[in-house]
Amino acid sequence: MLDADIRRRFDLLLTDGIYSLAWRFCARLCNTREDAEDLLQDSLLQALRRLDSLREDDAFRSWLLSIVHRRFIDRCRRRDTRERTLEGVRQVWHIDSQSTAQNHLWSVLNSLPEQNREVICLFYMEGLSTEEIAVITGLSGSAVRLRLMRGRRSLRERLQAEGFSHFAMKGRPVEAAGGNSHEC
C-alpha cells in the first residue's frame, strides 16, 4: 500500500500537461494505441512506486519521460524486436485527412533510424531541450546533438530528394507538417 503523502505528491506533480506529454511520447514510441496505453500505465505505476527517489519536484517531467523511455526499451528487449514504425501514431490521433505533405513527412520521418527518429521527435515535436533529452535517453548531451544533426541531415536529404525542399530543420520546433513553416 502506498503512503497517502506519496500519492498526494504524485497527484500534484502529474499535471494534465505532463500527462499529455507522456501520452504523446508513448504514442510515438509504440505501434498501436493499446501498446501506448499499456506503456503509459506501466510507466506511471513505476513512477508512483519510485517517487521517493525523485529528489527535486522540478525534475518530474524529465524523470517521468526517462521512466517511459526505459520501460519502452525493456519491452523491446523482452519482445526481441527493434522494428517499430510511427504508423501507430496515426491510429492514435485519427489523422485521416492529412495533406500530402503531412503524410509524406510522416513517411520520411518513419524511415529514419530509430535512434535519430526518437531524438528528432523529442526535440521538434515535444519541444524538449537537448539536456532534457540526454536525461531521458541516458545519452550525453553531445550524443544527443550528434543524433539531432544526423537526423536533420538525413530528413532534409530525403525530403529534398523527393521535391519537398521547403521543410526547415534548424533550431527549435518547426511545424512544417501543419503547414506553418518557419525557422526558429
Q: List, as one string, the DSSP characters of 7-69.
A: HHHHHHHS-HHHHHHHHHHHHHH-SSHHHHHHHHHHHHHHHHHTGGG---GGGHHHHHHHHHH
pLDDT per residue as tens digits for the range 31-89: 788 989 999 999 999 999 999 899 899 999 999 999 998 898 888 777 654 344 344 44
On whether residue 93 sits in a domain, the answer given is no
Q: Which domain holds residue 159?
A: 98-175
CATH for 49: 1.10.1740.10
On whether residue 121 sits in a domain, the answer given is yes
pLDDT per residue as tens digits for the range 97-115: 455 666 677 777 878 887 8
Tally of domains in the chain: 2
Q: For residue 143, is pLDDT > 60?
A: yes
Q: Mark which of 29, 45, 79 sits at the end of a domain.
A: 79
Contact, 42 vs 36, CB < 8 A?
Answer: no
On whether residue 14 sits in a domain, the answer given is yes
